[in-house]
Amino acid sequence: MPKLRRPTLMLAIAASLSLGLAACDREPAAPAATPPDTAAAPAPAKPQLGSFGFDAAGMDRSVAAGDDFFGFANGSWVKHTEIPADRSSYGSFNVIAEKTLADTRAILEGAAADTQASGQAKLIGDYYAAFMDEAGIESRGVAAVKPELEAIDGITDKAALATALGGTLRADVDLLNATNFYTDRLFGLWVSVDLLQPDRNAPYLVQGGLGLPDRDFYLQGGRMADIRKQYQAYIAQVLQLAGVADPATKAQRILALETRIAQAHASQEDTNNVAKGANAWKQADLSAKAPGMDWNAFLAGAQLGQQQDFIVWQPKAMAGISRLVATEPLEVWKDYLAFHALDRAAPYLPKRFADARFAFHGTTLNGTPQQSERWKRAVDESNHAVGEAIGKLYVERHFDPATKARADAMAKNIIAAFAKRIDALEWMSPQTKAQAKAKIDGLTVGMGYPDKWRDYTGLEVKRDDALGNAERAARFEYQRNIAKLGQPVDHSEWAMLPQTINAMNVPLENRLVFPAAILQPPFFDGAADDAVNYGAIGAVIGHEISHGFDNAGAQFDETGKLRNWWTADDLARFNAAGDALAAQFSAYQPFPGVSVNGRLTLGENIADVAGLATAFDAYQLSLQGKPGQTLEGFSPQQRFFLGFAQAWRSKAREQALRNSLLTNVHAPGQFRALTVRNLDAWYPAFEVKEGQKLYLAPDKRVKVW
């Protein structure tokens, strides 16, 4: 199955907030912080929330806040919490995720056990039951994947290869969804609002074709060379398990082909550069600018033969990969397709396939010692395939209307606070301010769940066909997406499930989305005081608002169109602040000599700085001039900042953290917590003085908005 990755055009609070609901063999590089590598471990320590919803016991007061604020806020929790054996990381998001997993499991098991179920209840119950039917899956062996392998074996020329490659295209990348911007299919497709003409939908084509998480895994030496050896061994193992002849030789050739594909790939920095991705191509441009592929055959196989307009996100990669279709031997391409068909199918095949896949994708890549229990993987797979049908029931059972009302009110307050910050900017011209205010005035918010639920009518789910269900669900989703081409833009569609622990900004639509599941402790607690809630979920809301004004989001206007609405001087000042923040984060080193990529993480860091500042302003406004109350020895300002820092408590295994530094546009949690050093109000709250490690002189504190 595809790996998880944060994209460019969805600007989210974190890349892997959904990892708590994800099977470990599909687990992303973690955004977590401290790198202790724990083996099989007991259940993690649960936070001991005080009367105002804050975990005072998780702090380490022997650490000075001004020297290590993350350690001060979370040191005891870090010391006493071990990463579960089936995770590569663990943190605050997982606390919510474990509860959401259990809630979702109950929905699915109830549906599966209901012999009278009909409609979508039967659909989700049968999907879950099919994946849980281990005995049936074992008895059927590799029969479910044989038709695809036979079709690949029947490819006789490059035109047929192009048709087959087009037939594998799925809507399995999502520039709007934090769970996925990476595919092991040769290319990925995303259908959404055209960033150049926001009144219509467009198909975005993105680079793909790799079994490892990023081009650097193929091109760098050191530990990457060892990973490549283990990947080659894994390829051979999968082919051997399927009875493919000469697996070792074929594995070597497949890795060599993927290495050439990686050499054609754009870098992470280029991929996350919106301006570089906005390449409008006509159908004829595919053959002219990316020769080598039989594009007529490819588009026919992809059911896109009539589509005339595309956005090609990485044009050089498109050209380089297409060239390889012409130059690499047909038999090698067939071996490549066969391996990836088996690799994608492995979670739904007999245990020997699933275990082999996890041993590589889970343990080798991310250091996770133990595969998740079957039911957890079944929840993940069901969410992936029929998630909105599950989400509708989740909302009915677990989302209190009072929570939605309070979160809606908080979002309204924070948006108003951001507007006031725009008014107060001394460095921005009235002309640019007017454009920024138009954008904030036009911002819409989706809280909890979509207004219109997805219709799964026509999707065939069989209780005895786990792999077939997954394949039919992927094709169903693909058809749903390409059907949007030529149709009016549906601004009510959500790219996240209500049971997802995440939040998002959609610059193409100037819209925010906050799924129901993130509106739980420790992010949002109806019993907690406002200071903690504003520091936690308030900063998340502020973060998503600010994404509309970060280095990527600021390139879109109030209609969602990619357009420069800045004066030259204002843009220069904005970029200078971004440069300072990039330098600040590039100085952080999770490992000796290994730094955070301040440029790759810049958009998220801008959103953290501006979002936290905005949430603080909104909290102050909520007091209506009244002094806040000290609770259990903590002032309101202290509770606000501690609530923020505890939201980012996290630990990661070394392999996962190292991967994250290469591929994740979010800085590790321990450094995101240090965003506080850019806010003037943090210094008196904790009596931070010059000479302490985190102290920044007032003129060095980055204030973007």
Q: Give the contacts of 10 (CB within 8 A, at least 6 positions apart).
A: 174, 175, 176, 177, 178, 495, 504, 505, 506
Return the pLDDT at 27: 31
Which tokens in the block code for residue 91? 């943190």
Return the pLDDT at 52: 61
Give 375 or 274, the one with higher predicted confidence: 375
pLDDT digits (tens, 9 = 90+) for 421-442: 999 999 999 999 999 999 999 9
The residue among 540, 523, 502, 538 whose CA lies nearest residue 646 is 523
Interatomic CA distance for residues 29 and 656, integer angstroms = 5
Does 347 reside within a domain?
no
Span 379-400, average pLDDT:
97
Q: How confident is the model at residue 34 (pLDDT cuts 50, 70, 90)?
A: very low
Does 8 reside within a domain?
no
pLDDT digits (tens, 9 = 90+) for 641-671: 999 999 999 999 999 999 999 889 999 999 9
Range in 15-24, 163-172, 255-264, 375-384 with the lowest mean pLDDT: 15-24
Q: Give the contacts of 435 (CB within 8 A, at least 6 positions apart).
A: 557, 558, 565, 566
Return the pLDDT at 54: 81
Return the pLDDT at 11: 53
State the amino acid at position 626 in one-letter form. K
List, in sequence order, every beta strand (DSSP E) within 167-273. 187-193, 201-207
Number of domains in the chain: 1
In CATH, what number is assigned to the domain containing residue 649?
Answer: 3.40.390.10
The residue among 175, 274, 195 whose CA lies nearest residue 561 is 195
Does 599 reside within a domain?
yes
Does 133 reside within a domain?
no
Span 196-225, average pLDDT:
95
The residue among 182, 199, 246 whose CA lies nearest residue 5 is 182
Range in 166-175, 279-288, 416-425, 479-488 with the lowest mean pLDDT: 166-175
Residue with the two structure tokens 């109830």: 110
Give 176 or 531, the one with higher predicted confidence: 531
Reduced to 3 states, what is the DSSP secondary structure of residue 505?
strand
The residue among 281, 225, 191, 248 whose CA lies nearest residue 478 is 191
Does 539 reside within a domain?
yes
Span 352-362, average pLDDT:
97
What residues are paired with 202 via a beta bridge? 192
> In 12-27, which positions are buried (b, 16+ CB within 10 angstroms) versus exposed (e)?
bbbbbbbbbbbbbbbb
Q: What is the DSSP string of 568-612?
A: HHHHHHHHHHHHHHHHHHHT--SBTTB---TTTTHHHHHHHHHHH
Does 656 reside within a domain?
yes
Span 54-73, average pLDDT:
96
Give 551 or 123, the one with higher predicted confidence: 123
pLDDT above 80 for 180: no
Instruction: Give the global pTM.
Output: 0.89
Return the pLDDT at 378: 98
Residue with the two structure tokens 């030789």: 249
pLDDT above 70 for 417: yes
State the amino acid at position 131 in one-letter form. F
pLDDT digits (tens, 9 = 90+) for 278-296: 999 999 999 999 999 999 9
Distance in Å from the first CA to the final CA of the chain: 40
What residues are paired with 190 via a beta bridge? 204
Domain that holds residue 580: 47-85+521-705
Q: How confident is the model at residue 625 (pLDDT cuts 50, 70, 90)?
A: confident
Interatomic CA distance for residues 9 and 493, integer angstroms = 15
pLDDT digits (tens, 9 = 90+) for 302-348: 999 999 999 999 999 999 999 999 999 999 999 999 999 999 999 99
Return the pLDDT at 267: 92
**Angle separating helix axes 401-424 and 539-547, nearest 10 degrees:** 50
Neighbours of 225 (CB within 10 A): 11
pLDDT above 90 for 399: yes
Cis ω before 522 (30° cut-off from 0): yes
How many Cα atoms within 13 Å fall on the side-chain side of residue 52? 22
**Inter-CA distances, 637 with 92, 190, 645, 682, Å:** 21, 43, 13, 8
Q: Is the dihedral of CA 560, 561, 563, 567 positive or negative?
A: negative
pLDDT digits (tens, 9 = 90+) for 361-380: 999 999 999 999 999 999 99
Span 391-417, average pLDDT:
95
Q: What is the DSSP letter of 517?
A: G
> Residue 8: left (phi > 0), alpha (psi -120 to 50), or beta?
alpha
Percentage of residues in the chain having pLDDT higher than 70: 92
pLDDT above 80 for 171: yes
Does 510 reside within a domain?
no
Q: What is the DSSP string of 201-257?
A: EEEEEEE---SSSSTHHHH--THHHHHHHHHHHHHHHHHHHTT-SSHHHHHHHHHHH
pLDDT above 90 for 1: no
pLDDT above 70 for 8: no
Span 156-163, average pLDDT:
98
pLDDT digits (tens, 9 = 90+) for 547-570: 999 888 899 999 999 999 999 999
Interatomic CA distance for residues 647 and 17, integer angstroms = 12
631 touches 637 (CB < 8 A):
no
pLDDT above 60 for 240: yes
Reduced to 3 states, what is the DSSP secondary structure of residue 480?
helix
Cα-trace Rg, the chain:
25
Question: What is the SS3 string spanning 618-687?
Answer: HHHHHCCCCCCCCECCECHHHHHHHHHHHHCCEEECHHHHHHHHHHCCCCCHHHHHHHHHHCCCHHHHCC
Does 567 reside within a domain?
yes
Return the pLDDT at 28: 29
Helix/strand/coil percent split, the chain, to 5? 55, 5, 40
CA 664 to chain centre: 9
What residues are paired with 652 via a beta bridge? 89
pLDDT above 50 for 112: yes
